[in-house]
Amino acid sequence: MANPGGSFSFDIVVFGATGDLSLRKLLPALFLRDAAGQLEPDARILGAARQPLPQAEFRALAAQALDRHLPAGAFDKDVWARFEARLEYLALDVEQPEDYAKLAKWLRLDCGQVTVYYLAVAPRFFGPICRQLGAAGLNLPCARVVLEKPIGKDSASAKAINDAVGAVFPEEQVFRIDHYLGKETVQNLMALRFANSLFEPIWHRGVIDHVQMTVAENIGVEKRGGYYDQSGALRDMVQNHLLQLLCLVAMEPPVAFEADAVRDEKLKVLQALHRIGERDVAIKTVRGQYSAGAVNGGAVPGYAEEVERPETSTETFVVVKAEIENWRWAGVPFYLRTGKRLPQRRSEIVIQFRPVPHLIFPGASRDVVANRLVIRLQPDEGISLHMMAKVPGPGGLRLRQAPLNLSFAETFQDRQPDAYERLLMDVVRGNPMLFMRRDEVEAAWHWVEPILAGWDAQGDAPKHYTAGSWGPSAAIGLIERDGRTWHEDMR
Ligand code: NDP
Ligand code: BG6
């Protein structure tokens, strides 16, 4: 299946191949892996969706998608000639059992290669597709099924999906994608913590005051308003991406860099999260919705106008004060913040250390700022440690904060691959480390659900914020009530 040089023979079936995810992320990622020489000559890609489409038109659609979504300069005519020949299309309605016979004809059923079923369709189809694959005898031992987030919209629907998928495919054949785990800088969190002896001894409540995690986007809901309006920021970003980041920052060192060892530790963090219910939802969370404003100098409409639902109460911004009830983190809040139409696209984790216990510099006490480690996930991936330093010069001793900066772009000059490139190849390799295990997904929903119920019980609409601002003023109030401030100067 794999040669020693690291290239792979596989068939991938992309259900939902004409959709946004497939065209924007999956096909470009597969193309780039082909360009890197990781696809064996016989690797094949089958796009499947309902729309009847001649092969040539699907290939033209793929070419157009690559043109739009590949990084500048990444298109190569020779690679395209090879890649195009791998692409085929099958008109298939996932709800029609007879269509799976057409799929069976295309597949190589002898398992001489890996077969990947990538479900880039709405989550309500995950169970039915697996059932039909099973009924048609296509749940091959060499098959792997890839599920996109969101896995359901609450714990009951997540469990129903997991049960339906699990009835056909054993857990080791199921790969639940959270693309944040495929980002280089997110994986770097594990390197930072567990390949350096420096941080682990100070990684606890005795030295760390609090943690801030921000995933800010300047885009709105783009063409995904239909999905987003049913979902909102808590389900779309916090239940998965932000909680996964929190797990990587907070977990105990795993016994080995192995899938289940890492996932066991992440699960313990999720299980230790304090449940925020109806009583404290008003003080531990803020939800907002953008109204018309300006982002990057351009006027943009409000959310309700964008999704054409004047009455919508879906949140596009959320702050949650998360608390982990264990020995390492008791009393250390993790402030999670995410939103759309904020001033910048910027994701970062700020580890705020405690102030020095005793000041020996008379007159400089106001200048002494507690240390802060800033992990920039995107863009300008890197790490900076903010330290106090003496301002050069004779006379009195003056202090100023100065950063120790590590820029990944400067240090490692290779292109940062897109998360999907890494994740797709991990599916083919059968490495589940960067995928969510069933129990993690369900534990994350168990934590999110009482917040959703608390908001419902409260009955308040989300607070409005102007597009291009950092969210409603209540988000500032939430952290300032604790005597802290958001890290706004991101450098
Ligand atoms: P789109 O609506 O853009 O695409 C859906 C695709 O599914 C289309 O190709 C559509 O084609 C196909 N489809 C719909 N119904 C059927 C059917 N009955 N049988 C076969 N094919 C069908 O969705 P996205 O690409 O945005 O999202 C796909 C999945 O990925 C969703 O679960 C989404 O939540 C998830 N996701 C998407 C992200 C993104 O950035 N887009 C990010 C993270 C997750 P046709 O109508 O011709 O059948
Ligand atoms: C997706 C969400 O999972 O992540 C989107 O559904 C969001 O709403 C996207 O825009 C953000 O991903 P990235 O990689 O651009 O930070």
Q: Is 99 in the pocket of ligand 1 (CB under 6 A)?
A: no
Best probe residue, ligand 1, of 25, 46, 50 (max atoms within 8 Å of C-beta): 50
Closest ligand 2 atom number to CA of residue 228: 8
Mean model confidence pLDDT for the chain: 94
Closest ligand 2 atom number to CA of residue 224: 8
Of the two residues 91 and 8, the one the predictor is more confident about is 91
For ligand 1, atom 30, the nearest C-alpha belongs to: 120
For ligand 2, atom 4, the nearest C-alpha belongs to: 237
Confidence label for 2 from pLDDT (cuts 50, 70 and 90): very low
Using CB distances shorter than 6 Å, the residues near ligand 2 are: 217, 236
**235 alpha carbon, closest ligand:** 2
Closest ligand 2 atom number to CA of residue 217: 10
Confidence label for 281 from pLDDT (cuts 50, 70 and 90): very high
Fold annotation for 10-148: Rossmann fold (3.40.50)
**How do residues 189-238 score in pLDDT, each as one tens digit?**
999 999 999 999 999 999 999 999 999 999 999 888 999 999 999 999 99
Of the two residues 6 and 458, the one the predictor is more confident about is 458
For ligand 2, atom 14, the nearest C-alpha belongs to: 180
| pTM for the whole structure | 0.94
Residue 47 CB partners (closer than 8 Å, separation 6+): 14, 17, 18, 22, 58, 62, 87, 88, 89, 90
Tell me which H or E stretch contains 447: helix 438-458
- In the sheet with 334-339, reading across from the earlier edge strand, the strands are 399-407, 382-390, 372-378, 346-353, 208-216, 334-339, 317-322, 285-291, 463-466
Catalytic amino acids? 241
Q: Between vectors from CA 44 to CA 39 and to CA 48, what angle results, nearest 5°?
A: 135
The reported pLDDT for the residue numbered 489 is 58
Closest ligand 1 atom number to CA of residue 93: 19
Best probe residue, ligand 1, of 21, 23, 124, 180 (max atoms within 8 Å of C-beta): 21
For ligand 2, atom 10, the nearest C-alpha belongs to: 217
**How do residues 72-130 score in pLDDT, each as one tens digit?**
999 999 999 999 999 999 999 999 999 999 999 999 999 999 999 999 999 999 999 99
Q: Where are the domains of the chain?
A: 10-148, 181-418+437-480
What's the sign of the alpha-carbon dihedral 239, 244, 246, 247? positive
DSSP states of 178-246: -GGGGSHHHHHHHHHHHS-TTTGGG-STTTEEEEEEEEE-S---TT-HHHHHHH-HIIIIIIIIIHHHH
How many whole angstroms from 137 Cα to the centroid of ligand 2?
35
For the domain bounded by 181-418+437-480, which CATH number is listed?
3.30.360.10
